[in-house]
Amino acid sequence: MGPTRNRSTGHSRWIAALGWLLATGLVYAENWPLWRGPRGDGTSLETNLPVHWSATSNVAWKVELPGSGHASPIVWGDRVFTVTALPDTEERVLLCFERATGRQLWQRAVVKSPFERKHALNSHASSTPATDGEQVFTAFLDVRDVVVSAHDFDGRPRWQVRPGTFSSMHGFCSSPVIFEDRVIVNCDHDGDGYIVALARRDGRELWRIDRPNKTRSYCVPTIFEAGGRTQMVLSGTMCVASYDPRTGRQHWIIDGPTEQFVASIVFSRPANLFFMTGGYPEHHLLAIRPDGEGNVTRSHIVWRHNRASYVSYVPSPVAEGDYFLVLSDPGYACCFEAATGRLVWQEKLGEQHASLVSAAGLVYFLSDEGVTTVVRPGPKFESVARNEIGEKCFASPALSQGQIFLRGDKHLWCVGAGR
């Protein structure tokens, strides 16, 4: 399709989504267009999301998913998307569902190749897709080649590129990030790691960052307005770094503090601090001032913790109000004063790989066993609800338009009636 038709199609999609929102009274609701939502930090601005549910109550629908995968669902208007891997055909596919009913609208094969070696807790479809309301962007591995693709909302392929190789004994996971006119994909791996920005329209490469240290990590970059500028921040490959997402130019870097990372970085506006949690083999929790230039290893770390019971390797944390919350590897929910790093409380909730999400002053912890504990951050531990669906969950929740979308081992769940 030519550029004029692309713009027309995108405008029509936007108008249709707006019309649907108006018709259902959801004008102030949010889409959940990519990994960890519209801000990439797990936060929702909605105020009426479900707090109580079970496998049989307050569930709008659930639908069986083919294959397997740990990618989160994403939501735009009346569509829900996710990806999965089909072992019988060795296909990685993009799935589209009707948001109101859960009915599958279409399924498209994106990559067909032998399954890569992976960690037992990883999957062959772990990268959450992203959408700009016109196209859906996915990232998979084809043996050693990273494959980034774009499909329209009817499942038609728009473009596909192979920006480089990827090697890791633990498998592949790199969720695309959308910023302005580009799709950004991080490929830290056991080789010449890189981050690449591709044009949303045609997949053309716009910039490339050569990453140091040649060490596997799986962090999705997060983009914030902080320190008076736009910063794309991530940990990985033995460093923590900030870049300009428009050009790829580095703002600042911190050496270490350990070898490998998975969790994304979040930002607290009240505290004016970035928070990093990771990793392996050492455990670190860092609060970082956002106004640095060059190497700030000795100058911009405001507070630090090294206790394993405080630190998360896989699930990303969340900053909520004056607090910063983490689910540590041993399964402890930890609540810190964001500005000082003082531990306010710690409570055993169980092992969790899903990242934390928050809305209306509440934080949702989703355990591997499919139990969601809803907590109100504050000076003491306050559990508002404990909800079980009876199905294992490794994917992070999506919050949109008064509903919560959970991806279990076998099913996609829509919780709540919406607005």
pLDDT in tens, 67-91: 999 999 999 999 999 999 999 999 9
Taking the C-alpha atoms of residue 6 and residue 11, their distance in angstroms, rounded to an integer, is: 9
Residue 302 has pLDDT above 70, yes or no: yes
What was the pLDDT predicted at 23? 46
What was the pLDDT predicted at 28? 60
Give the CA angle between residues 172, 231, 158 to the nearest 5°: 50
What was the pLDDT predicted at 20? 46
Q: What is the mean pLDDT of residues 8-29?
A: 50
What's the pLDDT band for 418 if we cut at 50, 70, 90?
Answer: confident
- What are the b/e assignments for 106-124, b being 16+ CB within 10 Å? eebebbebeebebeeebbb
**For the chain, percent of residues with pLDDT exceeding 90:** 92
Residue 36 has pLDDT above 60, yes or no: yes
Please provide the average confidence, as pLDDT, over all residues in the chain.
93
Residue 103 has pLDDT above 60, yes or no: yes
| The 177-179 sheet, strands edge to edge | 177-179, 182-187, 194-199, 205-210
Residue range 369-414, pLDDT digits in tens: 999 999 999 999 999 999 999 999 999 999 999 999 999 999 999 9
**Amino acid letter, 275:** F
Q: What is the mean pLDDT of residues 160-170?
A: 96
Residue 182 has pLDDT above 70, yes or no: yes
What was the pLDDT predicted at 7? 42
What's the pLDDT band for 117 if we cut at 50, 70, 90?
Answer: very high
Which residues, in sequence order, are CB contacts of 408 under 8 Å at separation 6+? 370, 389, 391, 392, 393, 395
Residue 12 has pLDDT above 80, yes or no: no
Q: What is the mean pLDDT of residues 297-316?
A: 97
Residue 259 has pLDDT above 70, yes or no: yes
Taking the model in full, what pTM does it have?
0.93
Residue range 358-372, pLDDT digits in tens: 999 999 999 999 999
What was the pLDDT predicted at 279? 78
Q: Is residue 69 within 8 Å of 51, Cβ to Cβ?
A: no
Residue range 331-348, pLDDT digits in tens: 999 999 999 999 999 999
What was the pLDDT predicted at 1? 33
